[in-house]
Amino acid sequence: MPEVASKPLKSATDLSEVVTRYMSDEDASRVYDAFLLAAEAHEGVVRKSGEFYIFHPLEVAYTLADLHMDSDTICAALLHDVIEDTDYTKDDITKQFGQVVADLVDGVTKLAGGEFTTRQEVAAASFHKMMVAMTQDFRVVLIKLADRLHNVKTLAVRKPQAKHRIARETLDIHVPLARRMGMNVLRKDLQVIAFKHLYPWRYKVLQSRIDRFIDENAEQHHQITKNITQALLDNHIKGQVFRWEKNIYRLYQRLKEQKGSKHLDTQNEALEIRVLVNTSDECYKTLGYIHQLYQPKMYAFKDFIATPKGYGFQALQTAFVTPDQQLVRVQIQTHEMYQIAQYGITAHYRYPDLLKYSDKSKTYLNRWLEQVKEIQKATGSVAEFMEDMKADLFLQEIYILTPRGEPKVLPKGATPVDFAYAIHTEVGNKCVGAMIDGEPCRLSTPIPNGATVKIITDEDATPHSIWLNFAITAKARSSIRSWINKRKSHEFVELGKQILNKTLKKYKLSFDNIKPENLQQTLNTLGLKDVDSMFSSIARGNQSSKLVAKRLLNDDTLKPVSEKDEDQALLIKGTEGLAVNLQACCYPIPNDPIIAELDEQRGLEVHRSNCPVLNNNHGHKKKESISVAWVDDTRAESHFLAPINVTVRNRVGVLSHITNLLEDMRVNIEDINISGDSDVKEMYFLLQVNNEKHLRQIAQSLNNQSHVINVSRAFAHNIER
């Protein structure tokens, strides 16, 4: 197990000894200058652990120097808290160390809390800032990870609440970030230390179990590694075979999910072995020799050499059970693959001769950074961005093939919608269906590992907001949200124009008749940048259409031409889109008397005029009411949701009788809820209907049934769900 206690503090001499091994004298001198500035900036400041603050940036810099990172990165590591905690500015750092170092420091610097109301808002905004900076220079995240590593190593002195918060945040954000960068040594250290501070008793108990398991099976495990080593020597392969230390946090996660016995024994706990050889050819030969030596487990073989993981990880993985019933998992890699698996994107800094191999890690990272850029552009808020990125970072990977056999790496649980957006944003936007291994499937179907998926598109198709209920990748979710927000913005503009024209019609005018000078003066007075902003502001209820109309007319004395015009309603179909919303508290349908309110986020909220929620909305912000009515030509093929309560005598088969009747009438049931006692049942049905007349016909047919006592129109808030 890795050591989780803090090691002796690093000094400037320790750092100097490391950097002078691989840096030029000029770069090493530059690093020392950065140390001097950091020491001066933090002079006299003491951390909660009692140590002088300068030791923290020294530890961060030493971690990165141990990876042989360049001088810009080491300088930025030494100065990473200077902007945030001292009087030095970004300009000060730029003047002395250049723009690159200043940008790295600024990227790591958390945002100030003055403009935020909660710790969560600060965290989300700072995470967003760091990730945006990372798309310009990935070294920002390396500094942040090294910073977090030292912070968790010194958690012992923090209060329990802060300790738990920081440990949880580390597991939620920094660990998956390290994994995405392929930096598994750092990831494992962060996991284990955070776990120890989050659950100290569980850590202690589980560590003792691991130690006992290793001690009790030491001789058997030694014999297994010896047998594999000898098999390689017999076949003229020079390799290293060694036991791999278990990751206590991952073991904890597995045991938590495991049903049955949670003891560590040879039958349910694997001996993990690593085999390192010189070439890819030798990896495959070694696999064959191991399978000759021990009977492999079915379906346990994975070839990550031919199909590397998303961050460039390559290995052959297999498992077998010995005659003594010891489960063994083996991972076979070349030395280069092993170093890249441990150090990821930083491997070619630490081992420059691996550059030609670690280019794969850089390629995968660059692809991911481009994806982060897309998500950042498409996401509406920093909170949504953080939510999507956290979900994306955590997901395990599976491999899915296009019909041409091209592999795509997607998270476990990904659906055809995720796959469509992984191919291209437009493919996702135009997606109407999918086939998995030649069989039609729902768009919400999780794709199995190794499946071949074909996406069916239609040029007239558009994304659906319901996709957000099952799309799991950040790319898909942010793209769907982006399309919805753009469509919503357009619909708000159209709705606002309709509302304003409805108001202007009272004066026998339309927006097209407004004088340009009056329009510009109105925009200036209201502080709006353009006409679309004015329309949108009206639709959201932020501007009164009556007041805007009078400003546009530039005459406060004008009166409506007639009372009839004053009361003219805005005509709606109820199927306009995202800016017109039929409210689920009362489910208005065509022919119902209706009224509407303007909401800043949802636009026009349409209620039945007798809706209890609308009439009892005390204590809430007053919204502008709009007179609305249904258009006369609402088509029969349009469907609207309407709830009904059906009171019945409790008899065998009564529910089946009612649902069969609705099926015969070609009425779709969206939801059912049943309550009541042994004699009388109250059935709630949410039905798809064409209009109020259609609903009355359905109610009449149900009322004619012998077991039905009463049928009534329901309000959703009355139903115990």
Residue 355 pLDDT > 60, yes or no? no
Tokens of 266: 């040879």
Rounded average pLDDT over 254-268: 68
**Cα–Cα distance measured from residue 407 to residue 385, given in angstroms and rounded to the nearest whole number:** 27
Which residues have a Cβ under 8 Å from the Cβ of 285 and sit 6 or more positions away? 235, 237
Per the CB < 8 A criterion, the answer to whether 54 and 40 are in contact is no
CB-based contact 583:597 (threshold 8 Å): no
Q: Which range has the worst mean pLDDT, 39-43, 60-64, 377-381, 477-481?
A: 377-381
Q: Tens of pLDDT along 636-671?
A: 567 888 899 999 998 888 888 898 899 888 888 888
**% of the chain with per-residue pLDDT over 70:** 86
- Which whole number is the average pLDDT over 352-369? 66
Write down the mean pLDDT value for the chain. Answer: 82
Are the CB atoms for 717 and 696 separated by under 8 Å? Answer: no
Q: Where are the alpha helices (DSSP H) in 294-407?
A: 335-343, 347-350, 355-378, 382-394
215 in catalytic set: no
The count of other CB atoms within 10 Å of the CB of residue 529 is: 8
What digits encode the pLDDT tens for the residues 92-102? 999 999 999 99
- Is residue 171 scored above 70 in pLDDT? yes
In angstroms, rounded to a whole number, what is the distance separating the alpha carbons of residues 552 and 528? 14
- Domains in the chain (CATH in brackets) are 12-198 (1.10.3210.10), 210-255+263-350 (3.30.460.10), 396-472 (3.10.20.30), 482-630 (no CATH), 640-718 (3.30.70.260)
**Residues 509-529: pLDDT tens digits?**
788 878 888 888 888 888 888
DSSP 174: I
Q: Which one of the listed residues 70, 84, 92, 532 is annotated catalytic?
A: 84
Structure tokens at 242: 């060694």
Closest Cα partner for 303 from 287, 291, 290?
287
Q: What's the rounded mean pLDDT across residues 210-229? A: 91
**Of the listed 43, 85, 370, 437, which one is catalytic?**
85
d(CA 485, CA 483): 5
The pLDDT > 90 percentage for the chain reads 27
Residue 464 above 60 pLDDT?
yes
DSSP per-residue codes, 515-540: -HHHHHHHHHHHT-SSHHHHHHHHHT
Whether the per-residue pLDDT at 5 is higher than 60: the answer is no
- 115 or 551, higher pLDDT: 551
**Cβ(550)–Cβ(556) under 8 Å?**
yes
**DSSP assigned state of 354:** G
Q: What is the mean pLDDT of residues 250-264?
A: 73
- Annotation says 3 is catalytic: no
Closest CA to 542 of 526, 530, 529: 526
pLDDT at residue number 58: 93
Give the Cα separation of 106 and 604 in Å (integer).
43
Which whole number is the average pLDDT over 393-400?
68
Going by pLDDT thresholds of 50, 70 and 90, the confidence category of residue 392 is: low
Tell me the H-state helices in 154-180: 160-169, 175-180
pLDDT for residue 716? 59
Query: Which pLDDT tens digit goes with each residue over 55-82?
Result: 999 999 999 999 999 999 999 999 998 9
pLDDT in tens, 684-693: 998 988 888 8
Interval 291-318: pLDDT, tens: 999 989 888 898 988 878 766 788 999 9
What per-residue confidence (pLDDT) applies to 576? 59
Q: How many residues does the chain have?
A: 721
CB 296, CB 287: distance < 8 Å: no
pTM for the full predicted model: 0.64
Q: Could you tell me the pLDDT band of residue 6, with boundaries at 50, 70 and 90?
A: very low
Q: Is 414 left (phi over 0), alpha (psi -120 to 50) or beta?
A: beta
Q: What is the mean pLDDT of residues 106-132?
A: 68
What the block records as the tokens of 463 is 């994304």
